[in-house]
A and B are shown apart, each in its own frame.
Chain A
Amino acid sequence: MTVIARRLAGHLARGIVMILVVATISFFIVRSIPGDPVAANVQKLIEQGMAPEAAEQATRVLYGFQPTGSLWQQYTDYMAGLLTFDLGQSVTHAGAPVTQVLGEAAKWTVLPVLAGTLLSFLVGIILGVYAAIKRTGKLGDILAISGSLLHGVPQYVLGLLLSAIFATLIPILPADGPVDILFEPGFNAGYIGSLVEHAVLPVVTYALAAYGGWILAMKSSVVTVLGDDFILAAELRGMKRSIIFRYIARNAILPLFTILALSLGLLLGGAVFIERIFNYPGLGLLLLDSITMRDYALMGGAFLLITAAIIVANIIADLFYSVIDPRVRSGEEVGA
């Protein structure tokens, strides 16, 4: 256990340093993008006939801050705020805190992405095992071909296709947002039912888009393990098929956990097409909007969130490895 604790401490320290570095880089990159929303607002008010002084005053009231500090001062303010999880205010959301805006959007991204990825992971690895074991038969061919086909179709094409079929041609599922506005938000059957109903198409899209990758990766991993000596050894020792099957599955699934963790981290920012197609006000769309509106604070916050998600996913994957793979667990002891 101490090995795991030491690993965790090391990962956290490295993760925090990495987040600070990314925050710094994104701060300066974001501010080097041409366009200034505050200046634009002042300009707009002046054009509407307001005196320059009054325009600046009104803008200050609107956004709640003065854009007068030097870049360096802004940077130190930003980093200091970061330590208290204060990412500043979003200019496009009438000065609402960035963390709050991100939190609102995150729930529409995290749940469908998580559900879709886990669904495709489960289905993909189970079918991947069959595709590997039956690789010389028809079933194996069909599974492998379905994997290759789906792997080759871009996410947004799948999304548009599903939306066209199940929401337009045969309108049995909604594709008009995350939930029906008729229902009172909260823990009531109507609201939750509506949430689930609306989530079906986006979740299935995520799942289908990722399924091909899982089935192909699992198939090749299983084929590799099948060729390992210890599988033949287990057979020659007369081990039961069910036990050998477990040996194969557990060894084959190991390398896939890294991919799973990475894809979960990445999907936070990469869901923009599906959010647009199914009208989910999620992180992908938020990031897109923040870029078009030059909402520096929001942009930086969204980048930071994606970075943190990937780093955390990696830490979880690594810790998970040290739990399930004894070679990783004792690796540091042997090396020390």
Chain B
Amino acid sequence: MTKSAPGVRIDGLTVVYKTPAGELPAVRDVRLTLEPGTITGIVGESGSGKSTLALSLLNAVQPPGRISAGSVEIDGLGDVVGLRNEQLRKARGKHIGYVFQAAQNSLNPLKTVGKQLLDLGRSHGVNDLPGLVREARELLGRMGLDGARVLDSHQHELSGGMRQRVGIMLALVLNAHLVVLDEPTTALDMITQANILKIVREVHAERGLTTLVITHDIGVVAEVADRLAVMYGGRLVEQGPTREVLGAPRHPYTKGLIKAIPRLVGDIDEAQALPGRPPTLATVPAEGCVFRERCPLRMDVCDTVDPEARVDAGAGGPRAVACHAVTVKEHA
């Protein structure tokens, strides 16, 4: 196996959900590039469309949702939006590994992990099943688990942290080099969370992966991601190298998010919650900036014109911000 980390280019991606009020966009006109071998983090509040975006990478948006426009080009696979049936099924698991939220039960409760591993192998035409089991045991051992015992266990016999590592194993065991982790540490305690993040980082480097981490926790992104994209109301409002975005946020939403994080040292009151609520599918404005209702820098133009993402070639990689106020300030 000499697969290398694939690059991913998401362009103009729009995902709509069918509702009684018509088809409403959950993800709108998203443009995002995952460079080969990098870890990209997507942060956003609940309902910002980040999970929908993650599912789009596997062309797995669940009805009543559908990808209505745009493309997701993955090296070695082409545009997954155009993949159908068997092609799509084979791409999932084998090329793209998906790790579920830790709190979710992503295993069949009636079968041992090992039996589900064999089901996975058979689904993807793996001839060397003993080899697959060996690989799985090694991966689990690599993540600090007793592989043989875990493969012999049912889901209910595993803790949350163990399940999450099983999820990572199942995403990697077929040698997928693009891995999507959807809220990988939600509902885990701090120590398990730190462990899982360490594993993600190490496995990513060892196996040469391209990784996408979806989370609502900026701390998680700061911990693992090379690049960071901030999502709000289905739009990517800011993206760039993690250190630059966190160190010098430019979009008012990103600034608000960072201000809202309580510090370990200092007064709890220093953390300021962002006023207002994030929009839901039904309240996302059809035109203008999605953030304007909560924005301290709101201008007249924000009500009518959706700000385009302006890309700068920064020192650590390209940065993009979609905000009229930022644009005006820089070009004044």
A residues bordering B, Cβ < 8 Å? 228-230, 232-241, 243, 247, 250-251, 254, 324-327, 330
A229 and B109 contacting across the interface, CB-CB below 8 Å: no
- Give which listed residue, A230, A238, A250, contacts B106 with CB less than 8 A: A230
Residues in B whose Cβ lies below 8 Å from that of A232? 60, 62
B170 and A326 contacting across the interface, CB-CB below 8 Å: no
A229 and B98 in contact, given A238-B93, A238-B123, A326-B109 (Cβ under 8 angstroms): no
Task: For the complex, give the distance between the alpha carbons of A184 and B156 in Å.
Answer: 58
Residues in A whose Cβ lies below 8 Å from that of B104? 229, 233
Most chain A Cβ neighbours within 10 Å, of B107, B110, B171: B110
Residues in A whose Cβ lies below 8 Å from that of B119? 239, 243
- Give which listed residue, B89, B109, B112, contacts A238 with CB less than 8 A: B89
Task: For the complex, give the distance between the alpha carbons of A238 and B90 in Å.
Answer: 6
Residues in A whose Cβ lies below 8 Å from that of B154? 326-327, 330
Within 8 A of A (CB), among B107-127: 107-112, 119-120, 122-124
B157 at the A interface (CB under 8 A): yes
B5 CB to nearest chain A CB (Å): 20
Q: Count A-B contacts at CB 8 Å.
A: 76
Q: List 19 A-B contacts (CB under 8 A).
A: A229-B104, A230-B106, A230-B107, A232-B60, A232-B62, A233-B106, A233-B107, A236-B60, A236-B98, A236-B100, A238-B93, A239-B120, A251-B108, A251-B109, A251-B110, A326-B110, A327-B109, A327-B154, A327-B156
Residues in B whose Cβ lies below 8 Å from that of A235? 60, 92
Extra inter-chain contacts (11) besides given A236-B100, A237-B93, A330-B157, CB under 8 Å: A229-B106, A236-B58, A236-B92, A236-B98, A237-B120, A239-B120, A243-B122, A247-B108, A326-B110, A326-B154, A326-B156
Task: For the complex, give the distance between the alpha carbons of A235 and B104 in Å.
Answer: 15
Residues in B whose Cβ lies below 8 Å from that of A234? 108
Residues in B whose Cβ lies below 8 Å from that of A236? 58, 60, 92-93, 98, 100
Task: For the complex, give the distance between the alpha carbons of A37 and B157 in Å.
Answer: 62
B156 and A238 contacting across the interface, CB-CB below 8 Å: no
B residues bordering A, Cβ < 8 Å? 58, 60, 62, 89-94, 98, 100, 104-112, 119-120, 122-124, 154, 156-157, 167, 170-171
B170 CB to nearest chain A CB (Å): 6
- Give which listed residue, A230, A237, A239, A243, contacts B109 with CB less than 8 A: A230
Task: For the complex, give the distance between the alpha carbons of A326 and B153 in Å.
Answer: 10
Q: In the complex, what residue of chain B is closest to A251 when comparing beta carbons?
A: B110
A229 and B120 contacting across the interface, CB-CB below 8 Å: no
A237 and B98 in contact, given A228-B105, A243-B119 (Cβ under 8 angstroms): yes
Leading 4 A-B pairs by shortest Cβ distance: A238-B93, A233-B106, A238-B92, A229-B104
Q: In the complex, what residue of chain B is closest to A136 when comparing beta carbons?
A: B63
A230 and B105 in contact, given A326-B110, A326-B154 (Cβ under 8 angstroms): yes
Task: For the complex, give the distance between the alpha carbons of A251 and B109 in Å.
Answer: 8
Task: For the complex, give the distance between the alpha carbons of A191 and B98 in Å.
Answer: 62
Task: For the complex, give the distance between the alpha carbons of A230 and B107 in Å.
Answer: 5
Residues in A whose Cβ lies below 8 Å from that of B109? 230, 251, 326-327
Residues in A whose Cβ lies below 8 Å from that of B60? 232, 235-236
B170 and A229 contacting across the interface, CB-CB below 8 Å: no
Task: For the complex, give the distance between the alpha carbons of A48 and B84 in Å.
Answer: 91
Q: In the complex, what residue of chain A is closest to B95 when comparing beta carbons?
A: A238
Residues in B whose Cβ lies below 8 Å from that of A330? 154, 156-157
B92 and A240 contacting across the interface, CB-CB below 8 Å: no
B108 CB to nearest chain A CB (Å): 5
Task: For the complex, give the distance between the alpha carbons of A251 and B98 in Å.
Answer: 23
A230 and B108 in contact, given A236-B58, A237-B170, A238-B124 (Cβ under 8 angstroms): yes
A240 CB to nearest chain B CB (Å): 4
A240 and B110 in contact, given A228-B105, A327-B156, A330-B157 (Cβ under 8 angstroms): no
Task: For the complex, give the distance between the alpha carbons of A239 and B120 in Å.
Answer: 6
- Give which listed residue, A240, A254, A324, contacts B89 with CB less than 8 A: A240
A41 CB to nearest chain B CB (Å): 60
